[in-house]
A and B are shown apart, each in its own frame.
Chain A
Amino acid sequence: MNNQRNNDSMKLEEKIMSGIKSGQIKLRSKYIFLSKKLGLSGALSLSVILAIFFFNLILFYMKTTDNFIYLTFGKNGFLAFLESFPYLLVIVFLLFLLFTGYLITKTDWSYKKPFKYIMLMLIMIVLLVGGVLASTSFSQRIEKQAFANRGTGLFLKPFLKRGMGLRDSGLVGEIDEIDENYLIINTPRGKQYLDLSHLLSQQISLEFEKREWIIAIGERKDNIFLTKEIRLIKNKECPMIRRGIYIYPKEKPMNHFFQPNEKVKKCLHDCIEVNGFNQFCFEKCRPMK
């Protein structure tokens, strides 16, 4: 039995060694392993950096747009909050976080500590560094590049443009025209008409002045925003939207908006006096091309 085992051992050793000597079995180049290692380290570092970067953009987006402010309206503002939520940023951030977790499992050291602890540590680092980065002017520079269509920011425009987008259940802008039943406000997407005749009873007595900033929730019907609740916002709120109106080259206005001149304004006013605030007046007073 032992002799048999020894013979088998010898046979195996001979078989492998003859394969090595004849060149059938070769050592894989050390450069293959080196490049694999460098590739993994590089991908891991890049993935962590991008996770931090996108988390920073999420915080920046929430801080500088109308997204979070809609929650101050209570459950009525929730729809507007959901509508203005930066889904694309959050999805990309989560994908990078998951990808980082996946790459960590491929490293030599990942098994030394339980995976959940490593992920917890990673998330803490990403949140901390991302939070610190969001408090610097870094994201604002990215935003400027994105809306000026230049630099690396250009690639990030799809992620940020939602911040200045037109919403169906919420609106932020600067008051340009005040009428008894409506407001015209400036937004990054051109002028918007707010019908105030649907305001909740406790809000009817509100008074506005030109150049004040308002945030409203309600419902968009064709070109008109039927306002349910409206309130003034502070100077420091929604800076991205403010910059969207005055700093960046104008975003292409939506087709159904137009810039009213004095003639149009008069027409609108007269029409509303007679017919009430409705779509008909806007169609009637639209300047011919």
Chain B
Amino acid sequence: MNSLELSDEQIIEVIRVENKGLYSEIIKRYQNKLSHYLRKFVYNPDELEDVLQVIFVKTYKNLFSFNTNKKFSSWIYKIAHNEAINHIKKNSTNHQISLDKVEYQIIDKSVNLDNDFDKILLKEQIENSLNLLKLKYKEPLILFYLEQKSYEEISDILRIPKNTVGTLISRGRKILKKNLIVNKLYEQSKE
């Protein structure tokens, strides 16, 4: 059977039992997704590659601890999340999140600013405001809006109850909107 037709969970079963080489398929499937996610926490490209490597090695070593009845993507994102947290703890320096065009449009739409903002200014301000958010709000917001994960998946990745995911996203969105409005008023007063 072609490995492209197999689900992640089926691939993991094959890797465990007979074909370890198939792990390259997992790397191919998740390398870009994970580096996209990690970029919100790890800003230096070299460090990002190191973190990514650690994630794939840890994932491989612990494949037998994965329950194939559950979703593999949530499991590998959980490992990535833990590594991102470890990285943040080790490197406490404050860096600036850099959103691409699509990402900032998603955030713009989600906080619903009613086109009050100058779009050029908005991207920068969203980046600033997202950076100012506490990690507990930032993580679910990024996973929900930018990684397109469901509440269930976010609950599995962050190991928090599903209801709490909803609460954190809703609160995070409100804080983000408030920060953006305050920023805008500040900019206007300067003018």
**When the two chains form the complex, which single residue of B32, B53, B57, B155 contacts A112, counting CB atoms closer than 8 Å?**
B155
- Contact A9 B32, beta carbon cutoff 8 Å: yes
- When chains A and B are docked, how far (Å) is the Cα of A113 from the Cα of B155? 10
Interface residues contributed by chain A, number (CB under 8 Å): 23
Neighbouring A residues of B117 by C-beta, 8 Å: none
Identify which of B27, B28, B32, B62 gathers the most chain A CB atoms within 10 Å of its CB.
Answer: B27
Q: Assess whether A16 is interfacial by the CB under 8 Å rule.
A: yes
Known: A13-B24, A13-B27, A113-B161. A27 touches B49 (CB 8 A): no
User: Are A16 and B57 CB-contacts (below 8 A) given A27-B63, A33-B65?
Assistant: yes
Q: Which of B152-171 contact A (CB under 8 A)?
A: 155, 159-164
In the assembled complex, B52 has its CB within 8 A of some CB on chain A: yes
Binds B, one of A17-25, A139-147, A231-239, A261-269: A17-25
Q: Decide if A17 touches B24 in the complex (CB within 8 Å).
A: yes
The answer on a CB contact under 8 Å between B23 and A12 is: no
**Interface: A8 (CB within 8 A):** yes
Q: Is B16 a contact partner of A27 (Cβ separation < 8 A)?
A: yes
Q: For residue A32, which residue of chain B has the nearest CB?
A: B64
- Indicate whether A155 reaches chain B with its CB closer than 8 angstroms: no
Q: Does A289 make an interface contact (CB < 8 A)?
A: no
Give Cα distance in the complex from A71 to B61, angstroms. Answer: 61
| B: number of interface residues (CB 8 Å) | 28
Judging by beta carbons under 8 Å apart, are A12 and B27 in contact? yes
Interchain CB contact (< 8 A) of B64 among A17, A20, A27, A113: A27
Which of the residues B56, B62, B67, B161 comes within 8 Å of A16, measured between beta carbons? B56
Known: A29-B64, A112-B161, A114-B164. A16 touches B21 (CB 8 A): no
Instruction: Determine the distance from Cα of A13 to Cα of B27 in the docked complex, in whole angstroms.
Output: 6
- Nearest-neighbour CB distance to chain A for B72, whole angstroms, equals 15
* B57 lies within 8 A of A25 (CB): yes
Q: Which listed residue, B28, B62, B155, B160, touches A13 by the CB 8 Å rule? A: B28
B60 within 8 A of A: yes
Chain A contacts of B28 at CB under 8 A?
A: 9, 13
Distance from B102 Cβ to chain A, minimum over Cβ atoms (Å): 16
Contact of B31 with A by CB under 8 A: yes
Return the contact of A15 from the options B16, B53, B60 (Cβ within 8 A).
Answer: B53
Q: Does A256 contact B (CB under 8 A)?
A: no
> Is A30 on the interface with B (CB-CB < 8 A)?
yes
Chain B residues with CB below 8 A from A108, complex form: 67
Closest CB in chain B relative to A272 CB, distance in Å: 72
Q: A33–B161 contact, CB under 8 A?
A: no
Asked, given contacts A25-B57, A25-B60, whether A16 binds B159 with beta carbons under 8 Å apart, the answer is: no
Q: CB of B178 within 8 A of chain A?
A: no
List chain B residues, Cβ under 8 A from A17: 21, 23-24, 27
CB–CB B155/A111 < 8 A: yes
Closest approach, in angstroms, between the C-beta of B154 and any C-beta of chain A? 11
| Contact mask for chain B residues 13-41; partner A; CB cutoff 8 A; 1 contact, 0 none | 00010001101100110011000000000
Measured CA separation A111–B164 after assembly (Å): 10
Asked if A25 and B65 sit within 8 Å, CB to CB, the answer is no
- A12 CA to B20 CA, complexed, in Å: 16
Contacts of A32 in B (CB 8 A): 64
Chain B residue numbers with a CB within 8 Å of A113 are 161
Give bound CA distance, A20 to B163, whole Å: 40
The docked-state distance in angstroms from the alpha carbon of A28 to that of B32 is 26
Shortest Cβ distance from B64 into A: residue: A30
Chain A min CB distance to B122 (Å): 24
**Residues of chain B within 8 A of A111, CB atoms compared:** 155, 159-161
8 CB < 8 A contacts A-B: A9-B31, A12-B31, A12-B52, A12-B56, A27-B64, A28-B61, A28-B64, A114-B163
4 tightest Cβ-Cβ pairs between the two chains A and B: A30-B64, A111-B159, A33-B65, A13-B27
Known contacts A20-B60, A114-B161; 7 further A-B pairs (Cβ under 8 A): A12-B31, A12-B49, A16-B57, A20-B21, A27-B60, A33-B65, A113-B161
